Amino acid sequence: MVGAAVTLVVGGGLVIRAQAPPIPPPGSKTPVSGYTVVRTYPHDPKAFTQGLEYHDGFLYEGTGLKGQSAIRKVELETGKVVQEEKINPAYFGEGITLTAGKLFELTWQTRTGFVYDAKTFKLIRNFGYFGEGWGLTHDDTGLVMSDGTSTLRFLELTRFTERRRLKVIDAGVPVPNLNELEMVKGEIWANVWQTDYIARISPRDGRVLGWINLKGLLSPAVAKTKVDVLNGIAYDQANDRIFVTGKLWPMLFEIKVK
């Protein structure tokens, strides 16, 4: 799919894909890692995965498309949805993250985020931001969000004021289309939309520390079905496990980066 310009209609939601830039950028000397699959788990093939996180033995997932967006608690081993809260059909759900006993969710073009109780999924409040909402994670001081550009925004956790912005660059070139985010061992990992790559980003200066090439993760037979792009990174810190999946993918993978 890299380099293709495609317009795709999925489940009543219109998704427009612009021309994808080359990844890694020309002239990049940043190391590129491969992967091995440790284990494969079932994943709901109807889930348009926008956000993914591992917490206390469960996966938490935010799904997209208007009229189908929801936040979910999911059994890792079975893929069974054990708790779900659908969001207002007017919103296209995007990235999620859990911290401080709350689940935070972005929406795509409606400039609105939601805060839920992480245990009950009861809506606590909403908050606003400029531009689009794409991916979401957190550090020790607040939220980190992407908006589809090469810039990450760091937000304060209670008033959601913007603390700083970080331009993500490799070989002097801004890296656009940053999407789903995850904090992994002090680095920000980001799916680059429409590509098979994850960028490992320094939260200090925005430099890409490494690339992870996940090409071939889906078998050719599965890749020919109604799957969409790679999107979704979750990290189990206690057991040092990395999980990845994609939009409408029928499986989720535990991987080792090599």
CA–CA distance, 48 with 77 (Å, rounded to integer):
19
Give the angle subtended at the CA of 85 by the CAs of 83 and 87, to the nearest 5°. 160
CA distances for 124 relative to 16, 72, 93, 99, angstroms: 32, 16, 17, 14
Amino acid at 247: K
Q: What length is written for the chain? A: 258
- Bridge-based pairing state of the strands 102-107 and 93-99: antiparallel
Residue 170 tokens, joined: 């490799």
Task: For the chain, 258 residues long, give each residue's pLDDT as a single digit of tens.
Answer: 233 333 344 444 444 445 667 899 999 999 999 999 999 999 999 999 999 999 999 999 999 999 999 999 999 999 999 999 999 999 999 999 999 999 999 999 999 999 999 999 999 999 999 999 999 999 999 999 999 999 999 999 999 999 999 999 999 999 999 999 999 999 999 999 999 999 999 999 999 999 999 999 999 999 999 999 999 999 999 999 999 999 999 999 999 999
Single pTM value for the model: 0.91
3-class DSSP state of 161: coil
Edge-to-edge strand list for the sheet holding 230-236: 35-42, 251-257, 241-246, 230-236
Q: CA angle at residue 232 from 118 to 213, to 5 degrees?
A: 150
Q: Phi and psi of 175, rounded to 5°?
A: -100, 105
